[in-house]
Amino acid sequence: MPRQKFEIHDAETARALYGEQDSHLRLLRDAFDVRVVAREDAVSIEGADSPFRDAVRALDLMLRRVEESHKLRLYEVEDILEAVIRDPKFQDEIRVDVRGGSYVTPRTQGQARYLRSIRDHDIVFAIGPAGTGKTYLAVATALAALRAGELKKIVLARPAVEAGERLGFLPGDLREKVSPYLRPLYDALNDMLDFAQVQKLMERDVIEVVPLAFMRGRTLNRSFVILDEAQNSTVGQMRMFLTRLGAGSKGVITGDVTQTDLPKGQLSGLVHAERILKGIKGIGFVRLERSDIVRHKLVEDIVEAYEKDDAARESWD
């Protein structure tokens, strides 16, 4: 039966890696049904061939996370174990430092491919179902670029399709009128930064959250610009958004072409852009699948059920 030993060089690393009362190691043991023996200066894994290899890969990723950030949270361990279970060849070779050692990492190969595309292209389109991390990873990458001084501003935009021309009739100022439509973007920001930090950056206009329609006429230099729910943009709005990017800027466009809320018969700007822009150097397209869903485990089953129903309806028409 194969066995591998991991050397632990100091007590602080051991505490972070093992977890409170060895909780992290118990999770590892139970996930792969292997034997895990912990000492002050080493951890040993022993088990059958396939589970053993997966457990070794997972522990290696856990140890790398500790060595980089000097801490390892329980949910991070769960993320690593789930990623390796989903895909034993998963390589956690790309990560995003959003706040001084607080990392956001891909949990699937599709997400890793998405992050690499953002790194390698000036404009990236991410298309896939709900729960695949399209918006979350884009916001994390934008915060990391801002923190590194690569860019000076983050702009998050979203179509307010449901509001249409009724915005003017809603009570309150502009922020109050559009806030319900922009809530998912605020949620992503607040999940990575303290509320006070988000408010301070917004007050200084370093982070801006706006409805898509209010971006007309602007030129954004050295900015990280994200368009969320892009399937609800019209062809004209998509063209307008893409031409806002100025010198040194990066754009990420996310959406799910199966959840368009545009009036029946109106072509989605995201669908149109994918058709005409593929192949242009500097523009990347990433397709995320059901296997990349990282929300509640039932979400993947729900997406699959709706896809099957859609296919059945199309066959009836």
pLDDT digits (tens, 9 = 90+) for 263-278: 888 999 999 999 999 9
**Weakest mean pLDDT among 54-58, 60-64, 66-70, 115-119:** 66-70
Residue 4: predicted pLDDT: 93
Read off the DSSP letter of residue 98. Answer: S
In this prediction, residue 165 carries a pLDDT of 41
Asked if 268 and 231 touch (Cβ cutoff 8 Å), the reply is: yes
251-306 per-position pLDDT tens digit: 999 999 988 888 888 999 999 999 999 989 999 999 998 878 875 666 667 877 88
pLDDT in tens, 147-181: 889 999 999 998 876 544 445 545 555 556 556 66
In this prediction, residues 32-49 reach a mean pLDDT of 92
pLDDT above 90: percentage of residues in the chain: 46
What pLDDT, on a 0 to 100 scale, did the predictor assign at position 131? Answer: 85
Tokens 């930090």 correspond to: 197
Q: What is the largest CA-CA distance in the chain?
A: 71
d(CA 273, CA 200): 35
Instruction: Flag whether pLDDT at 9 surpasses 80.
Output: yes
Average pLDDT across the chain, whole number? 85
Name the least confident of 92-96, 108-112, 207-211. 92-96
Res 20: pLDDT: 92
pTM of the model: 0.72
Cα separation, 78 vs 80, whole angstroms: 5
Read off the pLDDT of residues 86-99 as tens digits, 9 standing for 90 and up: 777 766 556 676 76
